[in-house]
């Protein structure tokens, strides 16, 4: 059985929401953790965008924040696919990262 532990310390710093987090594989087989999204510069050069974040608002005051593709709309075609990139996490391995989301949010819809 794979036991992945996520510890997160959300905060607000200046005009940004900041999520410092640690992911630990506590045992079992290796795991792959979503860590970035494939992107391209204006000239078309590909890169791993570790700053890309999705905020999905739920009922009440619940929000899901993470590095994953936004839910696809049922009524539209996507111009290009969002390709998730994962980081390998071996047993007993830990990695730390931080996600910054500047405010005000750029848009209220992912599309």
Q: What CATH number is given to the structural domain containing 86?
A: 2.60.40
pLDDT at 90: 93
Of 80, 66, 71, 65, the residue nearest 35 (C-alpha): 66
pLDDT digits (tens, 9 = 90+) for 7-18: 998 899 998 889
Q: Is residue 111 part of a domain?
A: no
**Is the pTM for the entire model greater than 0.75?**
no
Kindly state the average pLDDT of the residues 88-103. Answer: 89
Q: Is residue 108 part of a domain?
A: no
Q: Is residue 50 part of a domain?
A: yes
CB-based contacts of 80: which residues, under 8 Å, 6+ apart?
Answer: none
Q: Is residue 73 part of a domain?
A: yes
pLDDT digits (tens, 9 = 90+) for 20-71: 999 999 987 898 888 788 888 899 898 888 877 777 777 888 888 877 777 7
Based on the number of CB atoms within 10 Å of its own CB, is 76 exposed (0-12), middle (13-18) or buried (19 or more)?
Answer: exposed
pLDDT value at 94 more than 90: yes
Q: Is residue 107 part of a domain?
A: no
pLDDT value at 110 more than 70: no
pLDDT at 2: 56
Overall number of domains in the chain: 1
Domain that holds residue 94: 4-102
């Amino acid at each position: 059985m794979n036991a992945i532990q996520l510890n997160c310390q959300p905060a607000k710093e200046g005009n940004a929401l900041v999520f410092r987090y640690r992911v630990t594989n506590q045992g079992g087989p290796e795991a792959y953790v979503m860590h970035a999204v494939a992107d391209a510069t204006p000239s078309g050069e590909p890169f791993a965008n570790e700053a890309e974040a999705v905020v999905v608002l739920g009922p009440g005051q619940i929000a899901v924040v993470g590095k994953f593709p936004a839910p696809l709309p049922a009524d539209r075609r996507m111009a290009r696919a969002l390709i998730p990139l994962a980081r390998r996490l071996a047993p007993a391995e830990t990695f730390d990262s931080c996600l910054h989301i500047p405010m005000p949010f750029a848009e209220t819809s992912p599309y």
